[in-house]
Amino acid sequence: MIHKIFLFLAFIFGVQTLSYTQETLINVDHRDTQSLNGQWDIIVDPLESGYYNFHLNEYAEGAAKGFFSDAKPKDKTELLEYSFDTSEKLHVPGDWNSQKEKLFLYEGTIWYRKHFNYNLPKNKRLFVYFGAVNYEAVVYLNGKKIGTHIGGFTPFNFEITDFVASGKNTLVVKVNNTRKKDAIPSTMLDWWNYGGINRRVLLIEEEQTLVQDYHIQLAKDSFEKIKGWVQLNGKDKQQKVTISIPEANVSETIKTDANGYAAFTINTKLTLWSPENPKLYTVHINAETAKITDEIGFRSIQVKGTDILLNGKPIVLNGICIHEESPVREGRAYTPEDAQILLNWAKELNCNYVRLAHYPHNEYMTRLADKMGLMVWSEIPVYWALEWDNPEVYKNASTQLKDMITRDKNKASVIIWSVANETPKSDARNTFLRNLADQARAQDPTRLISAALLHGKVDGKMTINDPIGAYMDILACNEYTGWYGNTDPKQFDYKWETKYNKPLIMSEFGAGALQGFHADADTRWSEEFQARVYERQFPMLDKIPFLRGTSPWILKDFRSAKRLLPDYQDYYNRKGLISEFGEKKQAFYLLQAYYKKKVQ
């Protein structure tokens, strides 16, 4: 009975998230924006005293004790036990853990305050946009709650047209990164739980009726047919909209319906996007009341048997996994320069593909991947163990998947939507992931669906028999032969098999090493040990007949509270090919040579 109820609720939630009426504004880089980045005033509030009274009742709007009110004592007799004016500051975007030593391990609530001046012209609309806040954000403008968002890696915005004052305004955000069993990810994770407003904050000024969203890509299995839709938001929803690509001599005018939606199909001949030639076209979407421009590449990605086809031709994905860890400082990566360095390292490895683990990365990464010709695996943090029978958890996953696809569906670089990583088998989990896969295909039929699956040894063979593989376009597997468990080299002689006639990406493999620690190849944590694991991996991988890609774990050492061993780990996962200081390990050069040989 529980499973039947769960299925029904999952279906309902899935249908709701597939509505073409999207709330999030896409392509913010081509809109009229004002940055709110910089220094914000903060109050560390571990007991949430600024949100609840001592009976755990939420303070009402206007209550001076609520930190969102940003109140000042009326006179010397009034008691107020907080002050943004005399509190500390944090830089936004940025995590709090790396900015202040005392917050290194902090999980809880921090309040952020930012003053800004604005004079909104008549007949214009204003939105406040957050690239991401980890994990739960409650947003107030001038003391009024304007919205709440859950999920640490996807963008969101709220319209503040009716709340913004002419002149000075006060924006307050309550941020809480406490890990919870019913959250996504849940309480156990192998990366740092960086709290804070980790990505940019913008004010977006728009027309009364605006171009909110659009999908413009090659139709599924087509090389010459563009298929897509446009969504308007505002009072005048029925308008003529022209989609034009001047370089391709394309101009198509459509009429939106009463909901502001219109679909279209355009036949044309295009130069297709590929790693060798990452061609991007300037695309104009011009409505009667508003317009927006984008840079879009067009390519086809398909699966045929055990092959992955890019623009109709078989490809092998030579890749690397990347966490959103800054390459130049402690903490979360959030700048265009961070993205450039990380992806340049991937190119230096001779990669044509990157797995952005285990959550949607900053939009700078996918934008830049488009320009650099790097194919992308993008993933939601459905990671390890979740409450698979909890409908609210499914709704959360469904929303995060919807938001990931909404933001990046027009990026040619993104070829795979991943719905999970290393999740334990159960009927409830299988239903959960199957529904997510169905949702992803319905929202975006042009890309491939995958998840990092489980495998095991059956009759002396490494076997991929995870039942969720039946619902994936691409099989993916994380294997750590030679690192976890024993180090017997005979393990690398095992043959791999699967009952699914589908391509396989070895989505993770590797070993840990402390950069600069040298010993014999039998000594764990040495660069020599890590290098030998890679050397033994390559022949094993080359013998897997259905293998079509690899993304070893991982490009760079990254913070993890799970990795506690003094002297070697010290809160770092050391499987990176590059240290936290940007120093390359021996295994970096081995993988670089392996990929170079494969593409010659």
Instruction: Express each pLDDT in 338-384 by its tens digit.
Output: 999 999 999 999 999 999 999 999 999 999 999 999 999 999 999 99
pLDDT at 13: 38
* Type of residue numbered 144: K
pLDDT at 75: 95
Give the Cα separation of 289 and 279 in Å (integer). 30
pLDDT at 405: 98
What is the average pLDDT across 261-268? 97
| Predicted confidence band of residue 600 (pLDDT cuts 50, 70, 90) | confident
pLDDT at 81 over 50: yes
Yes or no: say if 509 and 480 are a contact pair by the CB < 8 Å rule.
yes
For 290, other C-beta atoms within 10 Å of its C-beta total: 21
Per the CATH hierarchy, to which homologous superfamily does domain 210-298 belong?
Answer: Immunoglobulins (2.60.40.10)
> What tokens were used for 385?
């163990």
pLDDT at 12: 37
Per the CATH hierarchy, to which homologous superfamily does domain 31-207 belong?
Answer: Galactose-binding domain-like (2.60.120.260)
The torsion angles phi and psi of 515, rounded to 5 degrees, stand at: -55, 130
pLDDT at 2 over 70: no
What is the average pLDDT across 28-55? 97
Tell me what the pLDDT averaged over the chain comes to.
Answer: 95
Instruction: Express each pLDDT in 423-444 by its tens digit.
Output: 999 999 999 999 999 999 999 9
Instruction: Express each pLDDT in 512-528 by its tens digit.
Output: 999 999 999 999 999 99
Neighbour order of strands in the sheet with 301-304: 301-304, 307-310, 313-315
> What tokens were used for 419?
């719905």
Instruction: Express each pLDDT in 304-318 by its tens digit.
Output: 999 999 999 999 999
Q: Which DSSP letter does residue 154 get?
A: S
Yes or no: say if 362 and 131 are a contact pair by the CB < 8 Å rule.
yes
Which residue carries 């563009």 as its tokens? 226
Instruction: Express each pLDDT in 439-496 by its tens digit.
Output: 999 999 999 999 999 998 888 899 999 999 999 999 999 999 999 988 999 999 999 9
From residue 333, alpha-carbon distances to 93, 327, 348, 390, 580 in Å are 9, 7, 19, 32, 12
- The phi-psi region of residue 142 (left if phi > 0; otherwise alpha if psi is between -120 and 50; otherwise beta) is left
| Predicted confidence band of residue 23 (pLDDT cuts 50, 70, 90) | confident
427: helix, strand or coil: helix
Give the Cα separation of 52 and 49 in Å (integer). 6
> What tokens were used for 227?
């298929």
Instruction: Express each pLDDT in 391-405 by its tens digit.
Output: 999 999 999 999 999
What is the average pLDDT across 28-35? 98
pLDDT at 302: 98
Give Cβ neighbours of residue 558 (< 8 Å, ≥ 6 apart). Answer: 191, 192, 323, 325, 572, 573, 576, 580
Query: Domain locations in the chain?
Result: 31-207, 210-298, 303-599
303-599 maps to CATH 3.20.20.80: yes
Give the Cα separation of 13 and 401 in Å (integer). 12
Instruction: Express each pLDDT in 569-584 by its tens digit.
Output: 999 999 999 999 999 9
What is the average pLDDT across 164-178? 98
Give the Cα separation of 98 and 134 in Å (integer). 14
Give the Cα separation of 393 and 432 in Å (integer). 10
Instruction: Express each pLDDT in 102-160 by its tens digit.
Output: 999 999 999 999 999 999 999 999 999 999 999 999 999 999 999 999 999 999 999 99
pLDDT at 548: 98
Instruction: Express each pLDDT in 202-259 by its tens digit.
Output: 999 999 999 999 999 999 999 999 999 999 999 999 999 999 999 999 999 999 999 9
Give which of 391, 418, 599, 385 is closest to 505, Cα–Cα. 418
| Predicted confidence band of residue 19 (pLDDT cuts 50, 70, 90) | very low
pLDDT at 11: 37
pLDDT at 457: 86
561: helix, strand or coil: coil
pLDDT at 6: 37
pLDDT at 18 over 80: no
- Given this chain, do its domains 210-298 and 303-599 carry the same CATH topology? no
Give the Cα separation of 64 and 84 in Å (integer). 13
